[in-house]
Amino acid sequence: MASRDQKTRIERDSMGEMEVPADALWGASTQRAVLNFPVSGERFPRHFIQALGLIKGAAAAANAQLGVIEAKLADAIQTAAREVADGGLDSHFVLDVFQTGSGTSTNMNANEVIAHRAQQIVGEKAGRVHPNDHVNQSQSSNDVIPTALHVAARQSIHELLQPALQRLHECLARKARAFDDVIKIGRTHLMDATPVRLGQEFAGYARQIELGIERVEKATDELAELALGGTAVGTGLNRHSDFPRLAIARLSELTGLEYREARDHFEAQGGRDAAVSTSGALKTVAVSLYKIANDLRLLGSGPRCGIGELQLPALQPGSSIMPGKVNPVICESVTQVAAQVIGNDAAVAVGGLSGHLELNVFIPVIARNLLESIRLLASVSNLFVDKCLDGIEADRERSASLVEGSLAMVTVLAPVIGYDAAAEIAKESFRTGRTVRELCLERKVLAPEELERLLEPRGQTEPA
């Protein structure tokens, strides 16, 4: 390392010298990538950098245990790696996410930052802490970056998404119980159908989210299988035979989640199927959220000229020109997030099919989109609960009046008076605006007591 001036210094790698900011912890390889990839200004998400720090710390611990790295250097590397994992060195992770498809640039960014910080900890007299020989010992970008993808996605699902979806499920289930006595008209093809209970609709929404949680949990088990130990192409060249076992055991300790070595390292590095599967589960959750949010804004439409069976919380003025207008803004936010997650899934799918021979070269964009989907779904699920679902109320009078005026009330009479006779009553009800009940009483199609029993709305919502 040679000084150029007070603002920069000279760093060297295998390709030669590079001028680096004087206060930067990164080195020449990172600086080359800074110049090579000025694409979006978007960096890897925090959970990904956290995962890299955890992996590098676990690797150093394993290498020290195996005698591959001197204990003093390994301790300093672990300390520096922990700072990376905790977010203390985020300002030194400067690379654009749209970079080399293996993520080699960001792996070297981590190696150089951790090496420089470890050097500060251990001191110059201990000898150089080398980014490749020490921090990257027993590893390759080709197994580290896929491992970081799995760890980052699994940790963020565990910490962010699963709690948010659980809250959402519990809120919907709670509303289902609260609305169980609200009888409303069902709708198929957006047209009037036979009565349902509002609680039944909300129970259906709760079940969608419950199934989504199960799908995501299944996907996270796939993410528990790690590529670490495969090194360059899956053969494990240049690492101790016990390294994967020890490093992954240490990683499990650091994260609090169980991880395991890939059963086949060629699959783990050549394909990204677990990430594609996880993204598919996230897309399904997004589709469920879209359906639920869309239903709620339809049922809450109005307030005078729409369906109006639900009253959504009024959060903000809905128009710059129409005084008093209030819009279903949270539902709109939810559906926009769903659209973004569906788009992210398409990008992840393209990334998944971009495995070439022994390596997938789309890992950064897979990581970017997968982690964004997790973050967005978690955030908007919590928002949905706090700003919309908790405050939703049923308009019981409106719901009851719509049931009574519905032509579909005649459906329950069809088995008794025949389909054609029931259809004629429905047509006359539509022509005259009179209710099915009124016409049946006038025509004396059934005894009043029998008619009352059959047309009782709640009975039509329960199986015989």
Report, as residue numbers or ranges, the catalytic residues. 189, 319
Q: Do β-strands 183-188 and 16-21 pair in parallel, antiparallel, or remain unpaired?
A: unpaired
Beta strands in 300-416 (DSSP E): 310-311, 355-356, 359-360, 393-394
CA dihedral 204, 206, 212, 214 (to 10 degrees): -110
Return the closest-CA partner of residue 361 out of 99, 106, 109.
99
CA-to-CA distance for 368 and 29, rounded, in angstroms?
Answer: 22
> What letter does residue 26 receive in the DSSP assignment?
-
Residues in a beta bridge with 359: 356
Q: Which residues of 277-309 are buried (b: 16+ CB within 10 A; e: fewer)?
A: bbbebbbbbbebbbebbbbbbbbbeebeeebbb
DSSP 418-459: -HHHHHHHHHHHHHH---HHHHHHHHT-S-HHHHHHHH-HHH
What stretches of 103-234 show up as alpha helix (H) in DSSP?
104-122, 141-156, 162-178, 198-223
Position 138, amino acid: S
Can you count the helices (H) and strands (E) in the chain? 18, 11
Burial 376-396 (b: 16+ CB within 10 A, else e): bbbebbbbbbebbbeebebbe
Q: β-strands 260-261, 225-226: how paired?
A: parallel
Phi, psi for residue 260 in degrees, rounded to 5? -145, 155
Q: Is 93 helix (H, G, I), strand (E, B) or coil?
A: coil
Whole-number CA gyration radius for the chain = 30
Tokens standing for residue 204: 């259906």
